[in-house]
């Protein structure tokens, strides 16, 4: 059974602070690592899909890095805003024929 761990489980930051959280996944047989943003009462929205070791992706104030050899990915948010408040999910896939395995998410609350 594949294990995808996210930390911290929840996080409270002040508006304007930068923050980051971690996704850990098995370091063998890597295929893809996904990050999703999930607001309450909505559906998960894709942020990034990362497929190569050393990948760095950026979308606005949000960026992510990937280390497949050691099995982790970081998600960074620069200058957090209240609208960034959501649960951030990572999901790992070890082949093209296997499903995404989701972590339990990091719940971010940005306080104005």
Partner 1 sequence: DTAVSQTPKYLVTQMGNDKSIKCEQNLGHDTMYWYKQDSKKFLKIMFSYNNKELIINETVPNRFSPKSPDKAHLNLHINSLELGDSAVYFCASSPIEQGNEQYFGPGTRLTVT
Q: Is 89 in the site for partner 1 (CB under 8 A)?
A: yes
Which of 49, 63, 76, 94 touches partner 1 by CB under 8 A? 49
Judged by phi (left if over 0) then psi (alpha if -120 to 50, else beta), residue 68 lies in alpha
Q: Is 46 in the site for partner 1 (CB under 8 A)?
A: yes
Strand stretches in the chain, DSSP E: 5-7, 10-14, 19-24, 32-38, 45-50, 56-59, 62-67, 72-77, 86-93, 101-102, 106-111
Q: Is 60 in the site for partner 1 (CB under 8 A)?
A: no
Asked if 73 and 64 touch (Cβ cutoff 8 Å), the reply is: yes
User: In this complex, which beta carbon is closest to partner 1, that of residue 15 or of residue 56?
Assistant: 56
Q: Is 59 in the site for partner 1 (CB under 8 A)?
A: no
Quote the least distance from Cβ 31 to partner 1, whole Å.
7
Quote the least distance from Cβ 16 to partner 1, whole Å.
28
């Amino acid at each position: 059974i594949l294990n995808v761990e996210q930390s911290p489980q929840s996080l409270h930051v002040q508006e304007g602070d930068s923050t980051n959280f971690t996704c850990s996944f098995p370091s063998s047989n890597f295929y893809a690592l996904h990050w999703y943003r999930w607001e309450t009462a909505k559906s998960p929205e894709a942020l990034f899909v990362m497929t190569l070791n050393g990948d760095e992706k950026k979308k606005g104030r949000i960026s992510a890095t990937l280390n497949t050899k050691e099995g982790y990915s970081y998600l960074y948010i620069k200058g957090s805003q209240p609208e960034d408040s959501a649960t951030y999910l990572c999901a790992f896939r070890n082949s093209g024929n296997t499903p995404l395995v989701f972590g339990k998410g990091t719940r971010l609350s940005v306080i104005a």
